[in-house]
């Protein structure tokens, strides 16, 4: 069973989109997505520096566009889809809930609204790696921080004000490391409440259909089977924690055997390698990874007796 997954904010790096634009038709498709987003995504994906693509208003549409370009190049029908944070919008397109243009309109509004909310108070996020989960959660609560992403595989992302994050850096949970993330706000926390209101007002204008394949939600790791409920969750998700750990539990329960992460892949595959031993994984970083991905899919589709040991 194959699942396509899409990464969230922070996965982007300068120039990462350049090799994808060399594929036939990719530049034209990105131009259409750029119009919908109101941004020159080709510029930001090929020429902008790290600070330029760290901007929430840019990073979010750029990530969704990259995910759609790479998934289109792979051209596979997975058994299910999921995305981490803004990657859920990519997954909604892959599931047929939103068309690409409406998804870009939605994600552009999401990025702007979250950037505006983040500007109210100086906030950020840091990854906490290692430590015992309950102890880490208690430690974060003591500092007034929110566990914005519970990612599994020993990774929790804390979010809050810069002062709270500085306190975390100075006073780490036992047996844990703390790494600041390249994001510009405390996403998936109460700091994002104004953005929820903005997206809630936008949602009724979207043309939404029910998913044509299973869609695993960040909210609780459950499979959601109506488009209206998926969009409701996309709106609420902005200020609610990401439970990627529960998504991976669902992958296990449903019998997922192969995970391919669309561009800019790597983060979710890394988590899967630690949390889901025995599951085959591949990250689409450049078009050079497409042949390996297709070979992995072919092995997935082959009869059990024909698969390599």
Residue 258 and residue 206 in one domain: yes
Tell me the pLDDT tens digit for each residue of 126-163: 999 999 999 999 999 999 999 999 999 999 999 999 99
Mean residue pLDDT across the chain: 95
Would you list the DSSP string of 105-161? HHHHHHHHHHHHHHHHS-EEEEEEEES-HHHHHHHHHHTT-EEEEEEETTEEEEEEE
State the burial class of residue 146 (Cβ atoms within 10 Å of its Cβ: 0-12, 13-18, 19+). buried
Give the CATH number for residue 159: 3.30.70.250
pLDDT at 303: 58
d(CA 151, CA 31): 33
Q: What percent of the chain has pLDDT over 70?
A: 97
**pLDDT over 60 at 308, yes or no:** no
What residues are labeled active site?
Answer: 85, 188
Residue 170 and residue 194 in one domain: no
Give the pLDDT band of residue 302 (cuts 50, 70, 90). Answer: low
Residue 62 and residue 204 in one domain: yes
Residue 113 and residue 125 in one domain: no
pLDDT at 300: 80
pLDDT at 181: 87
Domain count, the chain: 2
Give the CATH number for residue 266: 3.40.366.10
Q: Residues 221-239: what's their mean pLDDT? A: 98
pLDDT at 299: 86
Residue 52 and residue 78 in one domain: yes
Q: Residues 213-219: what's their mean pLDDT? A: 97
Instruction: Give the residue among 234, 265, 270, 272 at the shortest CA–CA distance from 250.
Output: 272
Residue 99 and residue 169 in one domain: no
Range of the domain at 159: 120-180
pLDDT at 149: 96
pLDDT at 307: 47
Quick one: tokens of 30? 């990105």
Residue 8 and residue 115 in one domain: yes
Give the pLDDT band of residue 268 (cuts 50, 70, 90). Answer: very high
If phi > 0 it is left, if psi is from -120 to 50 it is alpha, else beta; for residue 289 that is: alpha
Q: How many CB atoms lie within 10 A of CB 138?
A: 11
**Are 62 and 28 a contacting pair, CB within 8 Å?**
no
Given the structure tokens 């803004």, which residue do they identify?
86
Tell me the pLDDT tens digit for each residue of 178-203: 999 878 799 999 999 999 999 999 99
The CA–CA distances, whole Å, from 283 to 145, 146, 158, 175, 293 equal 31, 29, 25, 29, 8
Quick one: tokens of 9? 């904010």
* Residues 173-205 as b or e (16 or more Cβ within 10 Å = b): beebebeebbbbbbbbbebbeebbebbeebbee
Tell me the pairing of strands 258-261 and 280-283.
parallel
């Amino acid at each position: 069973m194959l699942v396509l997954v899409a990464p969230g904010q922070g996965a982007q790096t300068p120039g990462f989109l350049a090799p994808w634009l060399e594929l036939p038709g990719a530049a034209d498709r990105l131009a259409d997505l750029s119009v919908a987003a109101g941004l020159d995504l080709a510029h930001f994906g090929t020429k902008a520096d790290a600070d330029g693509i760290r901007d929430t208003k840019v990073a979010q549409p750029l990530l969704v566009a990259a995910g759609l370009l790479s998934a289109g190049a792979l051209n596979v029908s997975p058994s299910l889809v999921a995305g981490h944070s803004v990657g859920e919008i990519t997954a909604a397109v892959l599931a047929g809930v939103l068309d690409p243009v409406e998804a870009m309109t939605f994600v552009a509004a999401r990025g702007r609204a979250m950037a505006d909310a983040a500007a109210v108070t100086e906030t950020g996020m840091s990854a906490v790696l290692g430590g015992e989960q309950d102890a880490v959660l208690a430690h974060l609560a003591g500092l007034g921080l929110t566990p914005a992403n519970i990612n599994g595989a020993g990774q929790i992302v804390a979010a809050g004000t810069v002062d709270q994050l500085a306190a975390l850096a100075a006073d780490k949970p036992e047996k844990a490391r703390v790494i600041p993330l390249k994001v510009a706000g405390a996403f998936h926390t109460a700091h994002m409440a104004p953005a929820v209101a903005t997206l809630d007002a936008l949602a009724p204008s979207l043309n939404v259909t029910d998913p044509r394949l299973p869609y695993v939600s960040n909210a609780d790791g459950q499979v959601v089977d109506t488009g209206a409920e998926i969009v409701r969750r996309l709106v609420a998700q902005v200020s609610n924690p990401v439970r990627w750990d529960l998504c991976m539990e669902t992958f296990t329960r449903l019998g997922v055997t192969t995970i391919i992460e669309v561009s800019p892949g790597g983060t979710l595959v890394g988590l899967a390698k630690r949390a889901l031993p025995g599951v085959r994984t591949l990250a689409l970083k450049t078009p050079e990874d497409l042949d390996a991905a297709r070979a992995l899919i072919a092995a997935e589709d082959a009869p059990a007796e024909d698969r390599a040991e």
